[in-house]
Structure 1
């Protein structure tokens, strides 16, 4: 069929099958580590309330795509924000636009998938053990929904500033409970930090030996304190997480000591890096900044599933 396939928000979310997204995101991370991906650092136009970022990327075997994403503060709720946008998939051979999907739901699912990949690769306990999800917004809900699908037996605690919102988020995972941030983090084997924080919400003294922390928020500031970064074995999607300034790089990784290593998660998945290397007491931190290759992976899954199931509308564009 000819024309551009357009998926609305509901169709995009339904087409992002968790197992397929986890697999595709893992492939994209490995391609980043092998230096097979073409993706310039994210650029952004800044506004008084946020930014508009552009993220094009090409991943061999997955495709060519670009995301336009806005990150803005919510004027009605200080400390909260929005991530909105569009993702377009193109034919890598002749340049035709193939599909256009909702960027908000795609970003949520692929970010939850990469965080889960990091935990599965770096956590000490099989099945992740005791899990804390810090945050109660859209990204935290996406993380909980993914965990409910792939690890429904995990012992999950949700922590957020608003107990009502945290309770609503916790309802997405069977048996999840609600606690304060410090209590949730102190009792965890794995911490998923999914906030819009502008200042640290996780403290080093709360983290027990052997904890894995996956931090995917913090677009406007650090989620993790300097002590956590100081003591951790660090991982990221790409080297620019530490070498590029925000919004491309991570706030937490800007002032590392010269020569401080930041390993690529794809190298762990590919077997080229030992991860925690058998050190069950090491603190590991995966700091996600997002990467265009992950959007390529997720939009490929969404397009393939939609084509298989006959979803979406065609536009002559």
Structure 2
């Protein structure tokens, strides 16, 4: 039966097989780097406490989708923000909406997938990993590391010791710590916060470390010294060329020529790391990644019959 399949949060989460999302996001990043994706820069309406962003995209082989998402800081919990909204997947041939799903788990998993791909491409053999944050995005990152079965110690760092300890306790390979404890000596640092100011100084980073920063919707998650010293990678050229909310706060004023597209490293067209250089992957959250994750969820929903199907009027 044709129609619009509606998936709630738990159904959306169930369809986000992490390894399939990883493969789909890799394909989307490669398509982005080759100029094959149709997607305007993200636009947003600014409210007093946050923003509502609109993100449509078409990715050949993956589909056509649009996300409406609100990103609101939580003043009672500094450094944390919420991402709530919906993703609508369309039939790319006739424009019919075919699925509506919850944006929050989808955004978290596709973002963790892109961050993990940056590690695979730029620091594939870490001996120690740091995950900075204790919210939804940090949990999604730890879930993906668990799905990969990496035998690498992970330190979860954050300002709220109680929440950090509770999160780390859910993963046998993880231990809790402060931000400095987590970052110093780590080969890979995943920054997964809603911070509006840099989380740590450049001096805490080991030489040759790889930093993945996926937060910073409201300000800089990474300091200027790290940006200045690092080889820079991103999903799309607008990460540096476009102003926020489409571009990254950290990359404003940076020569866009310094930014290498991660997809060009994923498919081998760019060598990636230059020796022991510090590397930084700065994610702005591109709509192509939402299309990738939505395609995985929809395929699962169709195969299992999950969701409520609203029959087409015709």
TM range (shorter): over 0.9
Deviation for aligned residue 1:273? 0.6
Q: Which runs of 4+ in 1 moved over 6 A?
A: none
Matched-pair contact (CA < 8 Å) for 2:232–2:259: yes
Looking at structure 2, the residues matched to 78 and 211 of structure 1 have their Cα atoms a distance apart, in angstroms, of 27
Looking at structure 1, the residues matched to 142 and 200 of structure 2 have their Cα atoms a distance apart, in angstroms, of 19
Matched-pair contact (CA < 8 Å) for 2:66–2:87: yes
Q: Secondary structure at the match of 2:104?
A: helix
Residues 172-181 or 80-89, more deviating? 172-181
Matched-pair contact (CA < 8 Å) for 2:237–2:256: no
Normalising by structure 2, what TM-score?
Answer: 0.97
Looking at structure 1, the residues matched to 250 and 75 of structure 2 have their Cα atoms a distance apart, in angstroms, of 25
Counterparts of residues 172-187 of structure 1 (less than 5 Å): 172-187=170-185
Deviation for aligned residue 1:170? 1.1
Looking at structure 2, the residues matched to 73 and 182 of structure 1 have their Cα atoms a distance apart, in angstroms, of 24
Matched-pair contact (CA < 8 Å) for 1:215–1:288: yes
Q: 1:229 is matched with which residue?
A: 227
Structure 1 residues 117-162: Cα deviation after superposition (integer angstroms, max 9, x where no partner): 0001100x52x32000000011011111111111342210000111
The answer to whether residue 77 in structure 2 is matched with residue 77 in structure 1 is yes
Deviation for aligned residue 1:285? 0.3
Counterparts of residues 97-108 of structure 1 (less than 5 Å): 97-108=97-108
Structure 1 residues 239-282: Cα deviation after superposition (integer angstroms, max 9, x where no partner): 000000011000100022x46510000000111111004x0x21
Matched-pair contact (CA < 8 Å) for 1:216–1:287: yes
The answer to whether residue 293 in structure 2 is matched with residue 310 in structure 1 is no
Looking at structure 2, the residues matched to 122 and 254 of structure 1 have their Cα atoms a distance apart, in angstroms, of 23
Q: 1:138 is matched with which residue?
A: 136
Looking at structure 2, the residues matched to 138 and 90 of structure 1 have their Cα atoms a distance apart, in angstroms, of 27
Q: 2:252 is matched with which residue?
A: 254
Which of 190, 193, 201 pairs up with 1:192?
190
Deviation for aligned residue 1:301? 0.2
Which of 288, 301, 308 pairs up with 2:283?
288
Normalising by structure 1, what TM-score?
Answer: 0.96
Deviation for aligned residue 1:75? 4.0
Q: Secondary structure at the match of 1:115?
A: helix
Matched-pair contact (CA < 8 Å) for 2:220–2:250: yes
Deviation for aligned residue 1:60? 0.3
Change (3 A) 1:47 1:313: same
Deviation for aligned residue 1:202? 2.3
Alignment coverage as a number of residue pairs: 312
Residue ranges of structure 1 left out of the alignment (5+ in a row): none
Q: Secondary structure at the match of 1:105?
A: helix
Looking at structure 2, the residues matched to 77 and 156 of structure 1 have their Cα atoms a distance apart, in angstroms, of 24
Looking at structure 1, the residues matched to 120 and 171 of structure 2 have their Cα atoms a distance apart, in angstroms, of 18
Looking at structure 1, the residues matched to 217 and 303 of structure 2 have their Cα atoms a distance apart, in angstroms, of 35
Residues 73-82 or 133-142, more deviating? 73-82
Looking at structure 2, the residues matched to 253 and 151 of structure 1 have their Cα atoms a distance apart, in angstroms, of 33
Change (3 A) 1:259 1:219: closer
Q: 1:56 is matched with which residue?
A: 56
The answer to whether residue 236 in structure 2 is matched with residue 266 in structure 1 is no
RMSD: 1.2
